[in-house]
Amino acid sequence: MENVLEIKNLCKKYDNFELKNISFTLPKGMIMGFIGENGAGKTTTIKAILDIIKYDRGEIKIFGLDNQKYDNKIKEDIGVVLDDMFFPEILTPKDINDSMKSIYRNWDTLIFYDYLKEFSLLPNKQIKTFSKGMRKKLEIITALAHHPKLLILDEPTSGLDPVARAEVIQIFQNVLEKEECSILFSSHITTDLEHIADYITFINHGEIVLSKTTNELLDNYGIVKCTEKEFKSIEKKDYIKYKKTKYEYEVLVENKKDFKAKYNISVMDKITLDDLMVLMIKGEE
């Protein structure tokens, strides 16, 4: 399968934080959820991908080309929404359209105005009058209106209410239906990703903890709930992390089927990405 994004052994060191040998690939036409706590390294990784910051070691390829050497044609095929992105408040959506069509050769005024209408954004209204959700939708619409082949999204739903988040997620689903596009979707709101992401890559303290298909994670991983006596019967190699609660032990296992075949412990919960994050970050080994 062709990859649109390849990262190998990416390293970047700051005084109080470090990316350590980050490696993962995003196949063409897929959505990858990039998850982790705030401060885990998601934004730093994305800024390295976009060549906003220089990294110390490693390799990043976009469409098979070195990200530090790609030309404007490659940049035109990337749509970006960053958490700290903003437009000048005195501008209107019409101003944005007029500016962008002179920058992007593939800028599509018709689709830009179609999206404005779909999401009730008035073209002649100043951005300073928009709510946070409206501004975020405008950023996303702008990223989509030049028909990118790769969308890179850093916390695009952060701070939005559930209705606005659902509308934003619907935008991305519509894009995948209409366009041949791949998406790297960074978020700490994992519920936004469970139903749309094909892959999940989990970063913690600057290191990749896992990178797997969403189906593999949700179908194979599980949480065993057991007594202390039952927990002590489990071999360390058969679980990843555990957490002791007031009444029981919660144990993260990588293969539910194999675990059930080996142990006579009947309580096994299906896992969510939230469960996975909490146990991987807060659980004990």
Average pLDDT, the chain: 90
Token digits for 262? 């080996």
- 236-249: average pLDDT: 93
Considering only CA atoms, which of 59, 55, 1, 53 is closest in space to residue 32?
1
Token digits for 51? 């060549």
pLDDT at position 33, please? 95
CA distances in angstroms from 148 to 75, 104, 121, 141, listed in the order given:
9, 10, 22, 11
Q: What is the sign of the dihedral through the CA atoms of 175, 1, 3 and 7?
A: positive
Residue 67 pLDDT level (bands cut at 50, 70, 90): confident
Cβ proximity of 204 and 282 under 8 Å: no
Burial of 237 (0-12, 13-18, 19+ CB in 10 A): exposed
Residue 192 pLDDT level (bands cut at 50, 70, 90): confident
CA distances in angstroms from 266 to 227, 256, 257, 282, listed in the order given:
11, 11, 12, 24
Domain architecture of the chain: domains with CATH:
3-216 (3.40.50.300), 221-282 (no CATH)
pLDDT at position 214, please? 94
Q: Which helix (H) or strand (E) holds 229?
A: helix 228-232
How open is the CA angle 10-12-13, to the nearest 5 degrees?
A: 150
| φ and ψ of 205, to 5 deg | 50, 40
Tell me 271's DSSP state.
P
pLDDT at position 168, please? 82
CA–CA gap between residue 23 and residue 20 (Å, rounded): 9
- 65-69: average pLDDT: 82
pLDDT one-digit tens code per residue, 70-123: 666 678 899 999 877 778 999 999 999 999 999 899 999 999 999 999 889 999
pTM over 0.85: yes
HEC string for 98-132? HHHCCCCCCCCHHHHHHHHHHCCCCCCCCHHHCCH
Complete edge-to-edge strand list for the sheet that includes strand 268-270: 241-244, 249-253, 222-226, 268-270
Residue 194 pLDDT level (bands cut at 50, 70, 90): confident
pLDDT at position 246, please? 86
